[in-house]
Structure 1
Amino acid sequence: MDIKLIKGHGSGNDFFIIDEISNHYTFTEEDRSRLARLLCNRDSGLGADGILYVMDSDHAAGRMRVFNADGSEASMCGNGLRLVARYICELKGLEETVIETMKADLKVSKQNDLFDQVHTYQVEISPVLFELSALPLQLNKPSLMNEKIVQLSEELRFTALAVPNPHLIAIVEKDQLEGNLQKTLSEKVNGPNELFPDGVNVSFVRTLMPNTIYVRTFERGVGFTNACGTAMSASSLVTCLQEINQFEKPIDVYNDGGRVQCVVHQFDGKYHIDLIGNATYLYEAVINANVDDNTFTVLLKEDMSEQDSYEKLQAEAQELLSQY
């Protein structure tokens, strides 16, 4: 089967976009999973963190489904949603719209460039759930807010929430970011374990200055990534809950892939987050894939010129991080 792809990234979190609206592919559920494992393998000649399937919706401008590199389906992906927002807005000539995701219909919109010539989109991250059953996290309590999990660490305090994919977040100091602590506990909760039967995204968050944080995430089904959009959003919310940052004010969120902005909204006891960042295209390609044989051939690949501008944003971000 010949398949058209766009390779893009949000904050260095890279994906293939496959358009099922215009191309009318007839993928089975197993096909989508197999394609993710096949194409996202970094040793395959292509490689990515996942595949974003852009599909028709019966009530929104489009529907996004996200398959991780290991073939599992994610309920949400903030960096991926920015790419899908751009794709659908450009496909349908829109400045703002609503996109259906697994758990919610989310507002998206084109924004002024975050950095010169960097395509920028804002996406809604919601719903926000604190019930441990939503992750799930198997502890004998209804929620976990800035508390220890002794099975994981004697020193760290964690907050657990779903947005709607599951996140475990700790505010840390510089020395706790160094070494293997995050890798060790992340691998523990994403392997066979009694706490998180379905795994969890694990983020370490460090405050750099007022309204400025750094987030590093071990992503369920992927491992360490340059950035995770829902993790940066959830981490911003946690800093507001702990009165490190303020609701309704932009928070600059730095990551290994660059920088985004988050604005955390609180209304009537509920929360949602606006995630604002790049949606950068790297190349277009056509492949011939045989999922039964687990093989593919690249028939056409055409690089795009957007990465140069993003690398300037990234260099600026790395310069600031080097000061901390």
Structure 2
Amino acid sequence: MKIDVLKTHGSCNDFILIDEYSNDYGLDDEKRTVLTKVLCDRKGSIGADGILFIQKSEKADAKYRIFNSDGTEPEMCGNGLRCAGRYITELLGRDHAIVETLKANLDVQRTENIYGDIQTFEVLIGPVSFDVHTLPLIHGQETLENTVIPELSPEIAFTAVSMPNPHIITLVDDIDQDQVAEIGKKANELKSVFPKGVNVSFVKDLGDSKIFVQTYERGVGITNSCGTAMSAASLITCRLGINHPEKDITVLNNGGMVRCKVNERKESSGYSVLLKGNATYVFSGTVEFDFNSPEEFVFEQEEEFKQEEASYRKLETYAKSAV
């Protein structure tokens, strides 16, 4: 069978997008898992952190599901939602859409460019919960805020939050990527504490409402960026008094940068986070795929979005200079 694919990225967190809204490929979740594991393998001709499946929705303008490169399905992905949101709004011919995710229907809208002529979208990240049962995290207290998890590390203090996928965040003076990888891998093997795994982020405060975030993403590993992790990190810095709600926070990462704004709803003692960043198209093409011999798929590229990639390279250069 032939499947149309679009390669896209948010902060260099890259995805393959498959449009099931306009096309009936006859996919079930078993086939989606196979597709994801094979097409996302970076030893092949495409490679990605995951696949975004765009589908019709009875609750919203459209639905998106994301499968990580290991074939698992997380609750949400902020970078992926921006990319899916761009595709959905362009498909529907509008600048705003409500997108159904596993846990909530979320707003996506085109907004002012974050840098130069880069296509920029703003997404609402939520629901937010500090209840450890929502991650889930097996712990003796209802919440975990700036506290050591002995089974994970006797020295590093974490704050736990679901956005709605699970995150633990720690603030450090300097980020050691090897340590991030080590702690992230250990946390996702520690099923007695994190039965469904967890995203692990190390955060460095750069001052002047800027932070740097490095994430070990559940189901992916060390990643250039993770949208919900950057949102969670922004929220935690506000909770700790480093940054402030209702003010833009510039979040730098190995893939570039985004801006986050933490919204505090005092009447409900809750939060949401606005995440603003790129949704860049890389290339499109078709995949000839046989589920009886998936490894033998053939990819034919049809269009390359060179100008969009060139524009994003400029943002990357700027972001590196801002660290």
Superposition TM-score, scaled by structure 1 size: 0.96
**Alignment-derived partner of residue 41 in structure 2:** 41
Q: CA deviation at 1:61?
A: 1.0
Please state whether the residue corresponding to 1:180 is helix, strand or coil: helix
* Cα distance change of structure 1 residues 179 and 90 upon mapping to structure 2, 3 Å threshold: closer
What pairs with 1:138-287 in structure 2 (closer than 5 Å)?
138-174=138-174, 177-178=175-176, 180-267=178-265, 268=267, 269-287=269-287
Correspondence for 2:322 among 315, 320, 323? 320
Q: Report Cα offsets for 1:139-166 as digits up to 9, x if no partner.
A: 1111101111122223221000111100
| SS of equivalent residue, structure 2 residue 148 | coil
CA RMSD of aligned residues (A): 1.0
2:309 to 303, 307, 310: 307
What amino acid is the match of 1:316? Y
Of 77-86 and 181-190, more deviation after overlay is shown by 181-190
For 1:169, the aligned partner's letter is I
Q: Which residue number corresponds to residue 297 of structure 1?
A: 298
Aligned residue runs from structure 1 range 6-45, under 5 A: 6-45=6-45
Q: Do the aligned partners of residues 179 and 40 (structure 1) sit closer, same or farther apart at CA in structure 2, a change above 3 Å counting?
A: closer
Corresponding position of 1:55: 55
Alpha-carbon distance in 2 for matches of 1:320, 1:245: 17
Say which is worse superposed, 285-294 or 74-83, in terms of deviation.
Answer: 285-294
Aligned to 2:103: 103
What letter is aligned with 1:300?
Answer: Q
Letter of the structure 2 residue corresponding to residue 121 of structure 1: F
- What amino acid does structure 2 have at the position aligned with 1:246? H
CA distance in 1, matches of 2:11, 2:63: 22
Partner of 1:135: 135
Q: CA deviation at 1:180?
A: 2.7
| Structure 2 gaps, min length 5 | none
Superposed displacement of residue 179, structure 1: 5.9
User: Compared with structure 1, are the counterparts of its residues 190 and 126 closer, same or farther at alpha carbon in structure 2 (3 Å cutoff)?
Assistant: same
Total equivalences in the alignment: 319
Change (3 A) 1:263 1:288: same
Q: In structure 2, how many angstroms separate the alpha carbons of the residues matched to 1:151 and 1:251? A: 32
1:80-103 deviations in Å (ceiling 9; x for gaps): 000011001111111112100000
CA deviation vs aligned residue, 1:229-248 (integer Å, no higher than 9, x gap): 00000100000000100000
Q: Percent identity?
A: 43
Kept in 1, the 8 Å contact 2:180–2:214? The answer is no
* Partner-residue secondary structure (3-state), 2:76: coil
Offset, 1:192: 4.6
Contact 2:234–2:260 (Cα < 8 Å) also in 1: yes
Partner deviation per Cα, 1:197-226 (whole Å, 9 max, x = no partner): 111000000000121000000000000110
Q: Name the amino acid aligned to 2:26.
A: T
Q: Which residue of 2 aligns with 1:93?
A: 93
C-alpha separation between the residues in 1 aligned to 2:198 and 2:315? 29
Instruction: Give the Cα separation in 1 of the matches to 2:53 and 2:75.
Output: 13
Instruction: Tell me which residue corresponds to 2:120.
Output: 120
Unaligned runs of 5+ in 1: none
Q: Which amino acid is 2:217 matched to?
A: E
Paired letter, 1:297: V
| Alpha-carbon separation, structure 2, partners of 1:93 and 1:179 | 41
> What is the letter of the counterpart of residue 246 of structure 2?
E
